[in-house]
Amino acid sequence: MDDKDLLELFKEEGKENYAFNLIVDKYGERLYWHIRKLVASHEDANDLLQETFIKAWAALPRFREESRLYTWLYRIATNETLTFIKRAKLKAFLSLSDYSRQLENQLEADPYFNGDNTQMIFQKAIMRLPSKQKAVFNMRYFDELSYEDISEISGTSVGALKASYHHAYQKIQDYLKETI
């Protein structure tokens, strides 16, 4: 069922829950991985994903279809995650520690990380990026979204996104060269 049909179904009296469950079914996994790659921890990713869907459920009746459903959901998920990271960074700053260092430690101790050493180093390089740049890099590199879609999600111009991706790419490449 495509997004248009899902939205039509959602508008029908008494079918909101069913339609929304279909939306969760369709996009839940994709959004989870998007969040997970930003926060590393499974527990945090799960909480943020549920929060994303609760917000989407509350806002869906006002969704005016000016953007596509999946970019709209991505936007909610990205905003939720970036807000979470901002709070976590502030918390880390107040406790005189470094947030990216915390993420690296979390990654090393994560029982749900099955990557090899190269993948570990690669993920650490991504964790060192500023959070918005990290989100742009992940959406482009892993999710293979077009710059136009990322622009719709982030509200940033395509030109600025290309520059951001290029900077992120360069930083990661430099880190990999030094570390591997």
Task: Find out whether 133 and 164 touch, Cβ atoms under 8 Å.
Answer: yes
| Candidate list 95, 96, 155, 177; residue touching another protein; CB under 8 A | 177
Q: Quick one: which segment of 1-9, 22-30, 74-82, 87-95 binds another protein (CB under 8 A)?
A: 22-30
Q: How many CB atoms lie within 10 A of CB 116?
A: 8
The least distance separating another protein from the CB of residue 90, rounded to whole angstroms, comes to 25
**CA-to-CA distance for 110 and 40, rounded, in angstroms?**
8
Q: Residue 146 is encoded by which pair of tokens?
A: 């077009």
Contact 107, 115 (CB under 8 A): no
Task: State the Cα–Cα distance between residues 71 and 51, nearest whole angstrom.
Answer: 17
The minimum distance between CB 143 and another protein, in angstroms, equals 11
For residues 33 and 155, give the distance between their C-alpha atoms in angstroms, rounded to a whole number.
21
Candidate residues 7, 82, 106, 169; the one interacting with another protein per rule CB under 8 A: 169
Site map for another protein, 86-105, x if CB under 8 A? --------------------
Instruction: Report the alpha-carbon distance of residue 127 to residue 102 in Å, rounded.
Output: 10
| Closer residue to another protein in complex, CB, 152/165 | 165
128: DSSP letter: T
- 122 interacts with another protein by CB under 8 A: yes
DSSP 13-41: TT-HHHHHHHHHHHHHHHHHHHHHHHH--
Candidate list 55, 57, 75, 167; residue touching another protein; CB under 8 A: 57
Q: How far is the CB of 29 from another protein (least distance, A)?
A: 6
C-alpha torsion 124→130→134→135, nearest 10:
140
Among 58, 94, 96, 109, binds another protein (CB under 8 A): 58
Binding stretches for another protein (CB under 8 A): 16-17, 20-21, 24-25, 28-29, 32-33, 36-37, 42, 46, 49-50, 53-54, 57-58, 60-62, 110, 112-116, 118-120, 122-123, 141-142, 169, 172-173, 176-177, 180
